[in-house]
Structure 1
Amino acid sequence: MAAEQDPFPGQPHLPELHVRLRSELGRIDEQLRALLDAMDRMQGLLDAVVAISREVELPAVLHRIVTTAMDLVGAHYGALGVLNETGDHLEQFITAGLSEHERADLAGTGLPTGRGVLGHLISHPEPLRISDIPAHAASVGFPSGHPHLRTLLGVAISVRGEIYGDLYLSERRDGQPFDVHDENVVMALASAAGIAIENVRLFEQVRVGAEQFQRLLLPALPDLGPFTAAAVYRPAAEPSKLGGDWYDAVPLPDDVVAVVIGDVVGHDLHAAATMASTRNMLRALLFDGGSSPGAVLTRLDRTLQALTDNPVTTTALARIEREAPGWRLRWSTAGHVPPLLITPEGRVEILTAEPGLPLGVDPGEPRPDHSRLLFPGTTLVFFTDGLIEHPSHSLDESLDDLTELAAVHSTLPLRDFVCALADHHPSDGHDDMAILALRTPPA
């Protein structure tokens, strides 16, 4: 009987083919897993960069850098050491991952001095991976109460080409030492962190400059004797642009005092310029002694419409003049929140009255005037809506909260009083605020 011949001479037998196929599938599976891991790392890095970029305060940015780096590589501990101006020692040390007990143990140790492996990274700002910290040549041990760490990944953070600080990570949660993939992803994060730090520095410069410019546009209150007066301006909690809130007080002939407060719609240079031009025009119009506040606002509105393309503005204008047995308040509003009146006994009243339209809407619409007798020791409070606006509360609720706050602090000296209102305001702080208070002399 003839021997059975191989139908595919020169080709591998079926069992061998299965082995090779399984091996090839295993290799493809490993490559796919590696690719998925790389994609996860990249997505994590992108998410981390976005998270860092959203912060607008430097302490929050620095803490976010540490925590996102820890998340990226699965580290148990993280820290960021910020160098001083000369770059030879640390002036800040932001930590994350420490338990309350560990923080308590380290409470009296102060900032790291920049010796040991930390100092090595300061002197040699190249990426540093250590699998056994005590065995490293630069190691000098840990201070009393410090967790005993074994592994370290350190990367320098540069801002505008200068070393800003160093990012330290320790103890991967899986117990493995940091690898080259960890190093690469943290280096990428450190690069983005340098940009985020520079951006928030620039933002802070713009914020401070805008706030200073805004304050320069607001006047110092003149001597309004026999009245006392105080004003305060507070920028928004997270300001990035100029505001349009403003106030003014002008002594007029015949012992008359004019008080005005306003808010230009918008938060930009145009709003600030509008605020300045409106205040200056109004000052000129105030010296027409025969005009009521409503008439002055009407003339102001028509002048602004004829000469400018200013945005909509709300304002309240008041005149206080002597009338026995005290003083007479005459006021008119242009879409502005009503002022408060606080009696000598501490009772707070909202001067709710028919409002006129904001400036820039319809200059032909008549503006109502209102009047009220003021007794000695009465306090008037004018403010912008940034003091009371809150998305969770109605305007009436916020005004009620403000009246309660004013009643509590009504006996304070006027400067302390306006600061108390600004410090404990019922708003959410999203907008800038201005407050101007005037108090008639006691009997």
Structure 2
Amino acid sequence: MTDTTIDPGVRPVSPPVAPARSLSELERLALLADTTAQLISNNDVDEALNRVVALVLPRLADWAVIDLITESGDVSRYRVVRADAEGLTVREDLQGPMPPVSDASLMPLSRALRGVASNLAGPQTYEGEPDSGIAVEQRKLFQVTGIKTAAIAPIRGPWEVLGALTLGRSDESEAFTMNDLALLEDIARRIGLALENARHYQRQRQVAETMQRYLLPQLPHLPGVGMTARYLSAPDASYVGGDWYDAFHLPGGDTALVIGDVVGHDLEAAAGMAQLRNMIRAFTWSQDQPTHRIVQHLNEAMTQITDVRMATMILARLAVDAAGAWQLRWSSAGHPPPLLVGRDGLTRYLSEANGLLLGMASSHPRSEACITLPAASTLVFYTDGLIESRRQPLDVGMENLRRHAASLAHRDLDAFADQLLQRSRPHDNDDDVALLAIRLPADTGSRAS
């Protein structure tokens, strides 16, 4: 037998109720309120259901069993938990895949999984010839757990049955009543709504992340130069979408580097990001102009032919001059400045050539800056999710990023990017993060061919 003790952190906030299972109306309402609060405060299905189990055990039962129907139609015995003097313990040996739901079975769990009805049951219910594979599993459950009386209710979402909740008691004298069944149905109904919300959350997140992955480009090969990028989605699915990076070769031999962030956090922001990314690619490729003129052209066109209201962005051109030195020219539209990290750990924010955000009208001309990049230096472009959060001011985040980048200057580029994200991203970050890192060759005479 494999037992896993549930983390005490998921124990109910309310004080435990005496072993007597009969709850007053006020206690029932309090239990339902606690259940609702635990479910709506968490999109993590495991944690939410553990918290609900901790609320109902042991005040309502000695055992809780949750069977779930997956989106593909399979049935899984998702959780089997017992309550005893030691606390709550998960019986992992009783969990796992279940046989399919039988359309013809009259047994209580099968009926609940079809959404037909709630039922009271006991070991005697499954003593006869089993009419389905699920009936076989239920008979095993009663035998192994010693449950003498059980109440089973469907877990329903707004449009479909998502599973079933079973509560069991080990004392035959504490048989469940119809009032208990009604309370169980209320609890199961709340679980169903929470599960449907969690599934919707996961679908939205998968759509946003898939869209983001397809929109983010493959980085070009630049001989002698290391280049890597990272994208981390937001913890909340509704916040995924607006950040992007880009890098591509230009006809004259330069390499364009782009980092940007569309204001907004949803699929609409992701769609707007795709529009801007394609526009800046087309403008930069077709017009051999300084970066600030391209940014200004984008700003004028954006308000006319896209739905994007506002965005930040840096457009840069990486090139080799006649002496073989690497040069960077760039223009910023309200975006956090790139960070230049020397191989000796010296750092500098490239805060020149900063103009207004895209989408804001202004008569003030945009500007371009130029710098000769030191050999073996690392250039870091990033979005504000790496340095800013609700509890951390921007200047604190920038200082953290600078210090961590300096300490990682000796690492290879992939390790540098991974560790920089891990160390610098604020713990309470609720935004996505894009990062583009470029490392120049140690030999200043190295150049793209």
What TM-score do you get using the length of structure 1 for normalisation? 0.76
Q: Which amino acid aligns with 2:436?
A: L
How far the C-alpha of 1:309 sits from its partner, in A, is: 4.9
Q: Which amino acid aligns with 1:434?
A: A
Q: Give, in whole Å, the separation in 2 of the partners of 1:354 and 1:96.
A: 64
Q: Does 1:315 align with 2:313?
A: yes
User: Which residue of the partner structure matches residue 331 of structure 1?
Assistant: 330
- Where does the alignment leave 5 or more consecutive residues of structure 1 unmatched? 1-35
Kindly name which structure, 1 or 2, has the bigger radius of gyration based on alpha carbons. 1
User: Which residue of the partner structure matches residue 294 of structure 1?
Assistant: 292
Stretch of structure 1 that moved more, 59-68 or 356-365: 59-68
How far the C-alpha of 1:98 sits from its partner, in A, is: 6.1
Name the SS of the counterpart of 1:386 in structure 2.
Answer: helix
User: Which residue of the partner structure matches residue 201 of structure 2?
Assistant: 203
Q: 1:322-358: per-residue Cα shift (whole Å, max 9, x none)? A: 1335211122211111111121234333323362111
What is the number of equivalent residue pairs in this alignment? 397
- Where does the alignment leave 5 or more consecutive residues of structure 2 unmatched? 1-22, 100-104, 128-138, 444-449
Q: Return the match for 1:258 from 246, 249, 256.
A: 256
Note if contact 2:57-2:63 (Cα within 8 Å) is conserved in structure 1: yes
Name the SS of the counterpart of 2:237 in structure 1.
Answer: coil
Q: Give, in whole Å, the separation in 1 of the partners of 2:155 and 2:308.
A: 46
Change (3 A) 1:193 1:226: same
Q: How does 1:242-253 map to 2 (within 5 A)?
A: 242-253=240-251
User: Which residue of the partner structure matches residue 221 of structure 1?
Assistant: 219
Q: Which amino acid aligns with 1:38?
A: E
Q: Which amino acid aligns with 1:82?
A: L
Q: 1:158-184: per-residue Cα shift (whole Å, max 9, x none)? A: 4578764432334599x9554332211
User: Which residue of the partner structure matches residue 180 of structure 1?
Assistant: 178
Note if contact 1:78-1:167 (Cα within 8 Å) is conserved in structure 2: yes
Q: 1:407-434: per-residue Cα shift (whole Å, max 9, x none)? A: 3443444334323333444322301111
Q: Which amino acid aligns with 2:314?
A: A
User: Which residue of the partner structure matches residue 437 of structure 1?
Assistant: 437
Q: Give, in whole Å, the separation in 2 of the partners of 1:269 and 1:331.
A: 29
Note if contact 2:243-2:260 (Cα within 8 Å) is conserved in structure 1: yes
Note if contact 2:153-2:166 (Cα within 8 Å) is conserved in structure 1: yes
How far the C-alpha of 1:314 sits from its partner, in A, is: 0.6
Change (3 A) 1:150 1:404: farther
Change (3 A) 1:352 1:196: same
Q: Give, in whole Å, the separation in 2 of the partners of 1:153 and 1:393.
A: 49
How far the C-alpha of 1:287 sits from its partner, in A, is: 3.4
Q: Return the match for 1:92 from 78, 84, 107.
A: 78
Change (3 A) 1:217 1:369: same
Q: Return the match for 1:82 from 68, 89, 96.
A: 68
Change (3 A) 1:101 1:41: closer
Q: Does 1:48 align with 2:30?
A: no
How far the C-alpha of 1:69 sits from its partner, in A, is: 4.0
Instruction: Please give the root-mean-square deviation of Cα atoms over the aligned residues, in Å.
Output: 3.7
Note if contact 1:330-1:370 (Cα within 8 Å) is conserved in structure 2: yes
Change (3 A) 1:161 1:318: closer
Q: Give, in whole Å, the separation in 1 of the partners of 2:272 and 2:125.
A: 67
Note if contact 1:66-1:96 (Cα within 8 Å) is conserved in structure 2: no
Name the SS of the counterpart of 2:441 in structure 1.
Answer: coil
Name the SS of the counterpart of 2:269 in structure 1.
Answer: helix
Name the SS of the counterpart of 1:341 in structure 2.
Answer: strand
Q: Return the match for 2:95 from 105, 111, 130.
A: 111
Q: Which amino acid aligns with 2:66?
A: L
User: Which residue of the partner structure matches residue 191 of structure 1?
Assistant: 189
Change (3 A) 1:100 1:232: farther
